[in-house]
Amino acid sequence: MILTLLAAVIFGTAALAEAPLRVRVSAEPSTLDWSVGSSGFESMAILNIMEGLSELDESLQIKPRLASRWEVLEGGRLYRFHLRSGVNWSDGVPLKAADFVYSWKRLADPRTSSPYREYLTDVDVARAVSDTVLEVRLKRPVPYFPELLSFWVTFPQREDLVLKYGAAWTEPKNLVTLGPYRLAEWQKGVRLRFSRNEQYAEAMQRPAEVHAVTVPDWANALERMVHGDLDVLQDASQLDMVSKHGAKNLRFLSFKYLAVHYLGFNHKSRWFKDREARFAVAAAINRKTLVASMGRGDIMASSLVPVGLWAYDEDLGIRYDLAEARKAWAAARSRGGPGAAGPLRFCSIAGRFQEAAVATGEMLQRGLGLKAELVVAAPAAINAMIQRGECDLFLKSWGADYPDPATFMDLLVSSSNLSRTGWVNGEYDKLVRNAGDTPARAERSEYYKIAQKIAVNGEIALVPLYYPQITALVGARVADIYVDPLQYLFFKRVRLR
């Protein structure tokens, strides 16, 4: 009897340790093609099943990953990457330098329809010198080029599998990857199940299996967290913790995040062609009140580049001034802009974004008498509406793809297909281009600050609202977890009790 009970305790504990890590996601990835994915819903999956030539450590310093080392030649115009030995795809096939060449060509191919098609625009030629050596010639020196290669759109791809399966190459039964996990199953609308990749070269302690559980409704997700059906719930607030004060098994964690949540204008809409109308909206929003109402420790925004990156400028931004906002709104209306095009459509992604959108809409209604039609939907639907120009105003987020201000400044460059505002400004484009051609950080920072002044205070291309913080509730099973400032949750860094 004693032996039986002892065995039950021992094996019960082991079973608990091997139980899957359960992470809530509010929406599923729109794709697992890392040439096409563009949101955090894709990144959680892609960054755990794939890796790149470089990666960022916890202090955001760049270090080799699939490359063992690299050489910088010809004044920064030539990079030579030496691949790590012993790296295999999950089907046992060795990684080759040609896998990067194919991936990068496919990224730039208009037929791929990647929103990041111009991400490697500074690459002149990439070629496989051998199976283990990749040589990259740049059009100009890019001091942050190794940082660029930590982003998923640069990860290698297997040409043979893309050609064999076509659009179905990312289906779980066909998908071949080389990260610490592989996608074992995707139950649409329910969960993505990740299992350890046995071909992964680096031995480490990590959860054997991870379930990314789809729970769109926040209240439902919070209840499931409290009842122990989830282990990690991101985007929580201190208010959530207070409301569930009886849940002693939960911990509230906060991490720094390089991101900006902003209010975007459709500059082709009759509502916001007039700068006075854009100024009125910007000046009618009390960002301090907005941040406090959400209770997540977010920071009021000023510039497009967030706190934590050089080129951040605390002196930018339209200040809250309701009297000036109303005066500007009346002037714009007198010229026949706002209101002449029918109801204003304000678009927001469902979930926690919606909270900020509702609060912002209420401020505009109280301050300007502006009653907007709030449209809330899943990320893919809202992004499609914005791209088609169906939103007059929209709440969006931009997080760093790599730790350099360029990742934020490129958002508003006229040639970028990442910008959805329709705003075009030649002087802004020139300043950003000059910054890219300048190796010295101080000079680059000055270019960026002048450009931001044009976009944020001068033309008011958009309104930076706040810099979000990464927050999470974690359950008792989670001993250690870290979400980096790019909001990447690497399952391999999670430790369970």
Whole-number percent of the chain with pLDDT over 90:
73
What is the spatial distance between Cα 125 and Cα 134, in angstroms, rounded to a whole number? Answer: 11
- pLDDT per residue over 408-458, tens digit each? 999 999 987 676 899 999 999 999 999 988 888 999 999 999 999 999 999
Which of 29-43, 223-237, 240-254, 440-454 bottoms out in mean pLDDT, i.e. has the lowest?
240-254
- pLDDT per residue over 34-44, tens digit each? 999 888 889 99
Mean of pLDDT over the chain: 90
The pLDDT of residue 12 is 41
The pLDDT of residue 386 is 92
Spatial contact of 290 and 358, defined as CB atoms under 8 Å apart: no
Provide φ and ψ at 282, rounded to 5°: -60, -45
Averaged pLDDT, 252-270: 93
In the numeric block, the tokens 């000036």 are attached to 324
The pLDDT of residue 383 is 87
Q: Is the pLDDT of residue 7 over 80?
A: no
The pLDDT of residue 339 is 66
In whole angstroms, how large is the CA radius of gyration of the chain?
Answer: 24
Local structure of 277: helix, strand or coil: helix
- pLDDT per residue over 139-190, tens digit each? 999 989 999 999 999 999 999 999 999 999 999 999 999 999 999 999 999 9
What is the spatial distance between Cα 141 and Cα 99, in angstroms, rounded to a whole number? Answer: 24
Secondary structure element (H or E) that encloses residue 443, with its range: helix 441-452
Nearest to 297 by CA among 472, 462, 463, 484: 472
The pLDDT of residue 379 is 82
Query: Greater confidence, 242 or 463?
Result: 463
Does the predicted TM-score (pTM) go above 0.75? Answer: yes
Spatial contact of 313 and 303, defined as CB atoms under 8 Å apart: yes
Whole-number percent of the chain with pLDDT over 70:
93
Q: Which of 319-333, 347-361, 433-447 has the highest mean predicted lDDT (pLDDT)?
A: 319-333
Q: List Cβ neighbours of 258 (8 Å cut-off, separation of 6 or more).
A: 306, 308, 309, 399, 400, 403, 485, 486
Q: List Cβ neighbours of 335 (8 Å cut-off, separation of 6 or more).
A: 274, 276
What is the spatial distance between Cα 309 and Cα 403, in angstroms, rounded to a whole number? Answer: 7
Which amino acid makes up residue 453? K
Strand partners, 495: 480
Spatial contact of 269 and 390, defined as CB atoms under 8 Å apart: no
Averaged pLDDT, 215-233: 92
Exposure string of 295-315, with b = 16+ CB inside 10 Å and e = fewer, is bbebbbbbbbbbbbbebbbee
The pLDDT of residue 419 is 66
Averaged pLDDT, 194-214: 89
What is the spatial distance between Cα 462 and Cα 281, in angstroms, rounded to a whole number? Answer: 10
Q: Is the pLDDT of residue 5 over 80?
A: no
Q: Read off the tokens for 281.
A: 């909206």
Spatial contact of 279 and 325, defined as CB atoms under 8 Å apart: yes
Q: Read out DSSP for 333-355?
A: HHTT-TTTTSSEEEEEESSHHHH
CA angle 113/456/298 to nearest 5° reads 85
Provide φ and ψ at 385, rounded to 5°: -65, -45
CA angle 77/449/386 to nearest 5° reads 90
The pLDDT of residue 228 is 92
What is the spatial distance between Cα 405 and Cα 413, in angstroms, rounded to a whole number? Answer: 13
Spatial contact of 265 and 462, defined as CB atoms under 8 Å apart: yes
Q: Read off the tokens for 41.
A: 């819903």
- Residue 93 vs residues 86, 87, 175, 176: alpha-carbon distances, Å: 10, 9, 13, 10
Sheet holding 462-467, edge to edge: 299-300, 462-467, 259-265, 393-399, 344-349, 372-377
Compute the Cα dihedral for 455, 461, 463, 467 and give only its sign.
Answer: negative
Q: Is the pLDDT of residue 272 over 90?
A: yes
Local structure of 421: helix, strand or coil: coil
The pLDDT of residue 201 is 77
Averaged pLDDT, 466-495: 93
Query: Greater confidence, 9 or 427?
Result: 427
- pLDDT per residue over 372-416, tens digit each? 999 999 888 898 999 899 999 999 999 998 999 999 999 999 987
Local structure of 138: helix, strand or coil: strand
